[in-house]
Amino acid sequence: CALKRLIAAHQKFEIVDRSTASKSALQKAECFFFCANLRHLLRIRHRRRMDASSGNNTSNGKPLKCNQNVQVYLRVRPTNAREKLIRSQEVVDVVSSREVMLKPTLSDTRTSKKFTFDRAFDVNSKQHEVYHAVVAPYIEEVLAGFNCTVFAYGQTGTGKTFTMVGEEQPELSSGWDDDTKTGIIPRALNHLFDELRMTELEFSMRISYLELYNEELCDLLSTDDHVKIRIYDDVNKKGSVIVQGLEEVLVHSKDDVYKLLAKGQERRRTASTLMNAQSSRSHTIFSIIVHIKENGMEGEELLKIGKLNLVDLAGSENITKAGNEKGIRTRESVNINQSLLTLGRVITALVERTPHIPYRESKLTRLLQESLGGRTKTSIIATISPGHKDFEETLSTLEYAHRAKNIQNKPEANQKLSKKTVIKEY
DSSP secondary structure, 222-233, as one string: -S-TTPPPEEEE
Dist CA 388 CA 297 (whole Å): 61
For residue 356, how many C-alpha atoms fall within 13 Å in the half-sphere facing its CB?
3
What's the gap between Cα 353 and its chain centre? Answer: 25
pLDDT in tens, 112-126: 999 999 999 999 999
Which range in 49-53, 80-84, 139-143, 415-419 is most confidently predicted, on average pLDDT? Answer: 139-143
> pTM here?
0.81
Question: 28 or 425, which is more confident?
Answer: 425
Distance between CA atoms of residues 173 and 177, nearest Å: 12
- Does 13 have pLDDT greater than 70? no
Q: Provide the pLDDT confidence category of residue 81 given band limits of 50, 70 and 90.
A: confident
Mean pLDDT for the stretch of residues 381-406: 95
List of residues 6+ apart from 115 with CB closer than 8 A: 74, 99, 100, 101, 102, 398, 401, 402
Which residues carry a binding-site annotation for ATP? 154-161
| Residues in the annotated binding site | 154-161
* Distance (Å, whole) CA 348 – CA 359: 12
Q: Which fold has domain 63-425?
A: Kinesin (3.40.850)
Q: CA-CA distance, 168 to 170, in Å (whole number)?
A: 6
In the prediction, which pLDDT does 181 show?
Answer: 92
